[in-house]
Amino acid sequence: MELAHSDAFVFFGATGDLAYKKIFPALQAMIQRNQLDMPIIGVARSGWTLDKLRERARDSLENNGGVDADAFAKLSAHLQYVDGDYQEAATFDKLKQILSGAKRPLYYLAIPASMFETVAQGLAKSGCTEMARVIVEKPFGHDLASARKLNSTLQSVFPEESIFRIDHFLGKEAIMNIIYFRFANSFLEPIWNRNYVDSVQITLSEDFGINERGAFYEATGCLRDVVQNHLFQIVALLAMEPPSYRGYTAVHTQKVEVFRAMCPLEPSSVVRGQYIGYREEPGVANNSDVETFCALRLFIESWRWSGVPWYLRAGKFMREHVAEVLVQLKPPPSKLFADSQPTNGSANYLRFWLAPNPAIALAARVKRAGKEFVGDQHELYLGGERIIRQETETPYERLLSDAMVGEGALFAHKEAVEAAWAVIDPALQSHHPVHLYQPYSWGPKEADKLIAPHGKWHNPRPGQVGA
């Protein structure tokens, strides 16, 4: 069934950082592709004028990809602005007047989560929510209780199928390729289980700090910022059962089952770290115990994955800016050759290189020339620059386009959000103190002890694919 297209785009927080870095560039790109021909209404409480918002849009584009004169002219012509306090009914009355001809508006709440309820209720009271859709930014709550409250608030105003919880990570080409590669190739299914997979590692490391967002990070931390959403979404795509039919509802159902099968995190399964110098950042407490690094051991008690450890780590100020999945396979059951059961972690593996250069690699042992039956590990790989050249849409462009037509495949679902928080919640309430680590390292040494029963962390390096 073809869904009705939105006929107006309203973004709250129009003068903020997210609009500047992501939304304006995505809107221009959509206009370039003839995907956007509707009123574009910015809402904020900054005391600005429409001309100042247009100046902000131009400056955004100049610093984020460049200005296309024709596309920007169309963007400027479509752009309107409402200035006002989100807690005042007059703000929403002005918005309703501008929306007078729109029947299916799309609202983007590019604002702090603490304001979601205020704006949602303001839209409802002004009569602006009929046939409307809404996009909300992560984090979806602060813990399980707040996530449930937020979902309840949103669902009191919008039906679930009209709520789009955006996580730009899900719009990345490399992430989308995980689910495609898994279910478009039949050779994986026989080995994609506890009988052949020894462990799974997922690394998401950033080579910069908190970028003057001390107050935000003090209230968030690494577990909430990237583990509960980004890394858990990757786990779900890797661990889910095949959907029974085509459609995003089937995908969501299987992802929820993965989260529900996860064992809640215990303190012994989590290592929290903090880079040296974090406490000197503006907005950070002198005795802060907030983690800028997190490593954890996760188990999924399903028929497919029971007993297989999943090792996840993410952090700020790490050695490299990379994202990678390493699916370590078990060694051959019989020691037919002297080196056929390596003990240094060099058994066969499948590697999803997610960033900066998307690729997929399969490691296999190949015999050396000569009489001896010994070999070396080599990678067969697909992707690299070819995938990069083929990526034509940015994640925000892709996700905004999907939301405008009601396509929810790449968005988080209510049940998945709450099930993921249920796994994380125990680690938020009870945990060991942070371990300090040097900037531009791979985190605290305690993370190495966590993974020691299954070898070592694979420390990816840019350009390493095929090495």
Nearest alpha carbon to residue 301 among 359, 371, 239, 361:
239
Q: Residue 453 corresponds to which amino acid?
A: P
Residue whose C-alpha is closest to residue 255's, from 296, 300, 224:
300
Of the residues 142, 168, 230, 432, only one is catalytic, namely 230
> Phi/psi of residue 114, each to 5°?
-65, -15
3-class SS of residue 82:
strand
One-letter identity of residue 182: R
Distances (CA, A) of 440 to 49, 240, 341, 353, 461: 43, 34, 34, 20, 13
* Helical H segments across 262-384, by residue range: none
DSSP run (H or E) holding 365: strand 359-367
Consecutive H or E run containing 279: none
Q: Which of 268, 280, 289, 273 is nearest to 227 (CA)?
A: 273
CB 399 within 8 A of CB 248: no
The pairing of strands 293-299 and 8-12 is unpaired
Is there a catalytic annotation at residue 230?
A: yes
Sheet holding 197-205, edge to edge: 375-383, 359-367, 349-355, 322-329, 197-205, 309-315, 293-299, 270-275, 435-437
Task: Supply 216's token pair.
Answer: 């935000």
Q: Is 209 exposed, middle or buried (0-12, 13-18, 19+ CB in 10 A)?
A: middle
* Cα separation, 227 vs 414, whole angstroms: 17
Rounded Cα distance between 435 and 143, Å, is: 23
Return the number of other C-beta atoms located less than 10 Å from residue 332's C-beta. 13
- Known catalytic residues are 230
